[in-house]
Amino acid sequence: MRILSGIQPSGKLHLGNYFGMMKPALALQAEGEVYLFIANYHALTTVTDPALLRRQTLDVALDFLACGLDPARTVFFRQSEIPEVTELSWLLSTVTPMGLLERCHSYKDKTARGIPATHALFAYPVLMAADILAYQSNVVPVGRDQKQHVEVTRDIATKFNNQFGPIFTIPTPSIRDDVAVVPGIDGQKMSKSYDNHIELFGTEKETRARVMRIVTDSTPLEAPKNPDACNVFALYRLLATPTQAGALADRYRAGGMGYGEAKKALFSVLWETLAPYRQRRQELEQDLAGVEAVLAQGAERARGAARKTLSAARLAMGLD
């Protein structure tokens, strides 16, 4: 089974990225052949500073390797190193109805947030389809907000196969119910767009300050509190052991503990849990040539698969 996943280098990764995408993606290494790419072509729709894009792409690579990505079990690469994907996206665009793209909610959502209405943003689902189909992916883990794009990929692949022959594997979206929805410091879903995130590898001072800004209600210190309705506890439960989470929940319900103390407990478990990853990331920072070698090896393997698919598609369409 071939599993494909990707992430945009659109900024520093945060706890929402870790629990929502990174941790589940790393767990997939035990379930099948994983292709994981850094979607820097897609990032061009929002990141226009070349130096920033390069730095953020490297940051994503460092973060994933620090958190446990195994290059022996995962094909890890930059999207921009696979030119076959962009050619394939053009071939796929010849069978993609305009109406299919016009129904995609992501374009409407992003333009409503002020992102320029470019052709790249509009055609984003076609490039995403090429990303998926180039490697004959069987399964694509996605959030519910991305499920539509996988359905669009299925529609495009089916239309192409019906017209030119069985070239593409029809992928299946995988939406895991056990993937956490991570609250930001304001209680909304954690997102860089809302500036409510806690960076995965922020400095100690920055991280502590963010944690202490988490919004809570006005329940007095001495009164019992509901841990299940508290943003602080929601984050603590993701990081702590079941025993630790149970003990803090009991203190909430007993009363006599303020939210400030709960935030200190959250910072402590957050800083301690991520300590080995921080150490590993610092080591990787001192061996950027090694990181580049991992990405180059991944790109070579990915291109091998993409070339076969592109060659078959070109032949079917009369280009070879």
Q: Are strands 172-174 and 139-141 parallel, antiparallel or unpaired?
A: parallel
Q: 190: which DSSP letter?
A: P
The residue among 14, 13, 1 whose CA lies nearest residue 55 is 13
How far is CA 7 from each of CA 36, 77, 241, 301, rounded to the nearest angstrom? 8, 11, 28, 19
Q: Which of 189, 263, 264, 308 is catalytic?
A: 189
Beta-carbon count within 10 A of 161 CB: 16
Please report the DSSP string for 276-304 in residue order: HHHHHHHHHHT-HHHHHHHHHHHHHHHHH
- Establish whether 23 is a catalytic residue: no
Q: Which of 159, 192, 264, 308 is catalytic?
A: 192
Q: Which helix (H) or strand (E) holds 80?
A: none
Q: 194: which DSSP letter?
A: G
- Establish whether 110 is a catalytic residue: yes
Q: Which of 110, 159, 205, 225 is catalytic?
A: 110
- Establish whether 189 is a catalytic residue: yes
Give me the active site residues, please.
Answer: 110, 189, 192
